[in-house]
């Protein structure tokens, strides 16, 4: 069961919190873009940051000491690929035979 659903500031994405302890990010066509697990025993409120690049959640534990604020960065696939290829740059230069298997990084 979905307990919370919030639109992003630009109206292009929706974040939901459900009783299976998963936050899900959707586009407006209903395609799931990302999911994040949490450990609260309650369905926790969730929201987007004002710029829409992060989701924020207040997760309530069984005691005040167990309360948490969780923050996740939301990246589009192109952004994730560019960051991953940047991290692999030195590896690919050292091991050119691996470059063939990682064609996605050729133009990055």
Residues 56, 88, single domain; the answer is no
- pLDDT grade for 94, boundaries at 50, 70 and 90: confident
Residues 59, 37, single domain; the answer is yes
The whole domain housing 69 covers 2-74
Residues 14, 59, single domain; the answer is yes
Token pair for 44 = 């926790």
Residues 24, 59, single domain; the answer is yes
Residues 60, 82, single domain; the answer is no
3-state DSSP call for residue 87? helix
- pLDDT grade for 99, boundaries at 50, 70 and 90: confident
Residues 66, 90, single domain; the answer is no
- pLDDT grade for 14, boundaries at 50, 70 and 90: very high
Residues 8, 59, single domain; the answer is yes
Q: Choose among 39, 58, 35: nearest CA to 47.
A: 58
Whether the CB-CB separation of 46 and 78 falls below 8 Å is answered with no
89-93's contacts with Cβ under 8 Å and 24+ in sequence apart are none
The stretch 85-96 carries a mean pLDDT of 81
CA 54 to CA 50: how far, in whole Å? 8
Residues 22, 64, single domain; the answer is yes
Residues 65, 89, single domain; the answer is no
């Amino acid at each position: 069961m979905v307990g919370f659903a919030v639109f992003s500031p630009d109206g292009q994405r929706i974040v939901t919190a459900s009783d299976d302890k998963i936050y899900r990010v959707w586009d407006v066509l209903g395609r799931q873009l990302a999911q994040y697990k949490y450990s609260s025993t309650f369905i926790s409120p969730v929201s987007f940051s004002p710029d829409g690049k992060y989701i924020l959640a207040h997760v309530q534990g069984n005691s005040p000491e167990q309360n948490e604020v969780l923050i996740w960065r939301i990246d589009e696939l192109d952004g994730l690929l560019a960051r991953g290829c940047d991290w692999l740059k030195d590896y690919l230069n050292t091991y050119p035979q691996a470059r063939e298997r990682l064609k996605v990084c050729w133009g990055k």
